[in-house]
Amino acid sequence: GGHKVVLKYRVYPFLIRFFICLLLNEDPNVQGLALDLPESLYSSKVLNAVKPEKDVDGLSDVNLGRLVRGDAYDCLVPPTVCAVMELLEDLGGKKVLLVGASGAVGAALQCMLQREGATTLSCRWKAPELQTKLNHADVVIVGSTKPDDVPVSWIKPGTTIISCSRDLVSGKSLCHRSYFNILLRSFEISNMVKNIERWIQSQQYRKWDLRCLKLQLLSPVPSDIEISRAQSPKAVDVLAKEIGLLTDEVEIYGQTKAKVRLSLLERLKDQPDGKYVLVAGITPTPLGEGKSTVTIGLVQALTAHLNINSFACLRQPSQGPTFGVKGGAAGGGYAQVIPMEEFNLHLTGDIHAITAANNLLAAAIDARILHENTQSDKALYNRLVPVVNGVRGFSAIQFARLRRLGISKTDPGTLTEEEINKFARLDIDPSTITWQRVVDTNDRFLRKITVGQANTEKGFVRQAQFDIAVASEIMAILALTTSLQDMKERLGKMVVANDKKGEPVTAEDLGVTGALAVLMKDAIKPTLMQTLEGTPVFVHAGPFANIAHGNSSVLADKIALKLVGEKGFVVTEAGFGADIGMEKFFNIKCRASGLVPSVVVLVATVRALKMHGGGPNVTAGAPLKKEYTEENLQLVADGCCNLQKQIQITQLFGVPVVVALNVFKTDSPAEIDLVCKIAKRSGAFDAVPCDHWSAGGRGAVKLAQAVERAANQKNGFKYLYSLELPVVEKIRIIAQKVYGAQDIELSPTAQSQVDRYTRQGFGNLPICMAKTHLSLSHQPERKGVPTGFILPISDVRASIGAGFIYPLVGTMSTMPGLPTRPCFYDIDLDPITEQVKGLF
């Protein structure tokens, strides 16, 4: 019935007992182990085979170490020692001799006796000085069977004798052995109860005991990788313990990364959530305005400087941009996730798992088309449902397909020819395939390819393409799923094509859902890392911010909200500007999670505001024009229209907004003051300049204080639209209320797709607009706040497993290309130190 038990077991022979002990160590239903062995078998190896946290006997090295240190809470006193101490009184100044009591029990006895003021001596039965020591002892404690050649006359009259061995010692004894056994068992039970109490307490929420790391600030600020490498991160198991994670909830990957198991959500299900903060931004320049840096600086300020529990939840970066143009995504300056090279390269393999799962499904699609085109119904059916060991049966996923087809039969031999045809043939229309292969590299020559050119594919050639791995729908599913079961259901719902009747074909129809879930079983667990100041970070999922929703995972947020406690903060980031990432966070991610945001932090820079005010173009890799490096109040004032619009967009959702002005060294005090005044006048709860890039968490303390105050404000969170509205109307609401468009215009292709999805039953899904992030409009060159434009919808597609429809505003590339001079020119490995160079 789910009750936790402590097992005391007696298994013979010894080897069986020993191996069962090792097995029970890993059994989550066993909270304690008490060994009952012959004295000759109580070796150190056996005693230490029991996990310290399950050591009811208190005889493991770890437990004895805690006892010697005086750590009363974390240790258990061995029952034998407890029984001896119960029988002895007023030990101050007395001489106590331990005979034949060596090993763990002897060490524990000496520790407890000395703590009570006794003088302790230890002696072997065969020692030549035994008679002298027995003659001077006030108390003799016998730990093993007395040899016959040791006479009782060696013990002086009046000596108290306690036997801890299985045999009684002749002569005067304080008690009968049966009474000692009763005491022994009672203390053993007491230890069992204490172990259960300790386990129950460990399952409850625990206050953090976080040791933050000190920063050694330098000026000028070194490169990101130099800063990262100069800091010594805490071992990740230490960090996990500091924030209340249990040992069996953490899977260690090296020294600085760990996966966190979802079982934590069940353990802390009654724990109130902390405050939920979203970091968004104004419409950015191509250089980015530092949302990740603000996110990390904010949590460093909250935890390391204000002593408030906080967690950052970030997306995992794609390796495409890391080696292409953008570089890494670990933050920057003195507000980073460390080690930054591990953050940016591979991490714990989640993107590789997504790539494997995505491409397995792609392979299944083409293989199924080939096999259906080259086999009769009977041959196809016989191969899909083969005879194995003389028995023919449907697999679990095939039973699910039979149910969807309305076929209730369970015996493969009873299907009619018509039923066999329906079951065996998916009849995929190759022209409708939307599922593409993926790779986590910027490779422009994979934007259009031809597959099936080998002779073995018998002429079934078709045009296809590769997307970058983070554009896979499986990545979006990972970011939105709420459990392993939910992920499996979402994977099965993914629509990969239509059949020749226009009906959707899913991953479930292809029979691959279970295999995809197996490939993703570890990727679903968030990865724990840390900031430069030793505060915790979850890195999990990294969906595209245009054709997907551009947010880190729901699961990371949910786990972090439990861990920080009711007064703590979880800070997460939305991709691109507030008009894209924030809108999708509210309308898609919050619907999936059921979580309600407390505050929005809107990141702005003087540089971006000058661009929106009419400044010259900003180009990645090119030096900034003088307008951006010299004071120009008029440009700043004119560009604040974009900031005001983004504040208004936030207010549509009823959430308080704090503007964080990410300060650069070229910003003048007058420019900074002007932006903050305009932001407050435009409805922001507060506007705060931040210099966390150069000062770490200390540079974001005022922002953290403003966020804390804003989180206590009245929150009227609401979604922008009802899911029951028609697809076109939901698109129109976003275009008009968020982007400022006059109206929308759907191409015939887009309208046809909307009609198809509505007919197929997908009309009630939320909308995920795929639009340029460089303008509120569909035209990247239009800065500030464009008005009066008609938003063109060129196509409409769907990610049914992820749970949204995504209209394409213009042409969207899902495979970036490499520039003339990619980042990889500067990336290198030192073969002596194995250190990575050139990441930024």
576: annotated active-site residue: yes
Residue-wise DSSP of 204-219:
S-------PPPP---S
* Bridge partner residues of 538 (DSSP): 313, 528
Please identify which of the residues 256, 293, 322, 814 carries the catalytic annotation: 293
Residue keyed to tokens 């072997």 = 124
* DSSP assignment letter at 467: E
Q: Amino acid letter at 663?
A: V
Region for residue 740 given its phi and psi (left: phi exceeds 0; alpha: psi -120 to 50; beta: otherwise): left
Phi, psi (deg, nearest 5) at residue 566:
-60, -30
φ, ψ of residue 803 in degrees (nearest 5): 100, 40
Helix or strand (DSSP H, E) at 437: strand 437-439
User: Among residues 326, 401, 610, 783, which one is catalytic?
Assistant: 326
Instruction: Kindly name the residue from 586, 693, 789, 804 that is annotated as catalytic.
Output: 693
Candidate list 315, 368, 490, 645, residue with the active-site label: 315
Q: Retrieve residue 584's tokens.
A: 């999708």
Rounded Cα gap, residues 208 and 567, in angstroms = 12
Considering the candidates 323, 343, 576, 586, report the single residue annotated as catalytic. 576
* φ, ψ at 377 (rounded to 5°): -60, -45
Cis peptide before 13 (omega within 30 of 0): yes
The question of whether 664 is a catalytic residue gets the answer yes
Which residues lie across from 770 on neighbouring strands?
Answer: 808
Is 714 marked active-site?
A: no
User: Which residue out of 460, 664, 717, 840 is catalytically annotated?
Assistant: 664
Q: Is 291 annotated as catalytic?
A: yes
Of the chain, the end-to-end C-alpha distance in Å amounts to 54
- Catalytic annotation, pick one of 49, 497, 507, 545: 545
**CB of 800 closer than 8 Å to CB of 743:** no
* Rounded Cα–Cα distance for residues 801 and 354 (Å): 14
Q: Which residues contact 636 (CB under 8 A, 6 or more apart)?
A: 606, 609, 610, 613, 671, 674, 675
- DSSP element (H, E) containing 104: helix 103-115
Q: Give the amino acid at 306.
A: L
Active-site residue flag, 34: no
Kindly write down the DSSP assignment for every residue of 703-751, as one continuous string: HHHHHHHHHTS------SS-TTS-HHHHHHHIIIIII--SEEEE-HHHH
Q: DSSP string covering 1-18, please? A: ----EEEE---SSHHHHH
Q: How far is CA 175 from CA 90, 100, 397, 473, in A?
A: 17, 19, 69, 74
Annotated catalytic, 610? no
> Could you give the count of Cα atoms lying within 13 Å of 19 in the half-sphere of its Cβ?
4
Per the DSSP assignment, residues forming a β-bridge with 537 are 312, 529
The angle at the Cα of 205, spanning 200 to 207, to the nearest 5 degrees, equals 125
The dihedral over CA atoms of 722, 723, 724, 730, expressed in degrees to the nearest 10, equals 80
In angstroms, the CA 269 to CA 267 distance is 6
Q: Hey, what are 169's tokens?
A: 């010692």
Closest CA to 662 of 693, 623, 640, 638: 693
SS3 content of the chain, % helix, strand, coil (to 5): 40, 15, 45
Close Cβ partners of 266 (under 8 Å, ≥ 6 residues apart): none
The pair of structure tokens assigned to 416 is 């009619």
- Using CA atoms, how far residue 621 sits from 93, 105, 694, in Å, is 81, 70, 22
Q: How far is CA 581 from CA 122, 433, 624, in A?
A: 72, 28, 26
**Cα–Cα distance, 530 to 296 (Å, whole number):** 10
DSSP string covering 644-687: HHHHHHHHTTT--EEEEEE--TT--HHHHHHHHHHHHHTT-SEE
Radius of gyration of the chain (CA): 34
* Catalytic residue (one of 17, 51, 275, 291): 291
Q: Which residues are catalytic?
A: 291, 293, 315, 326, 545, 576, 664, 693
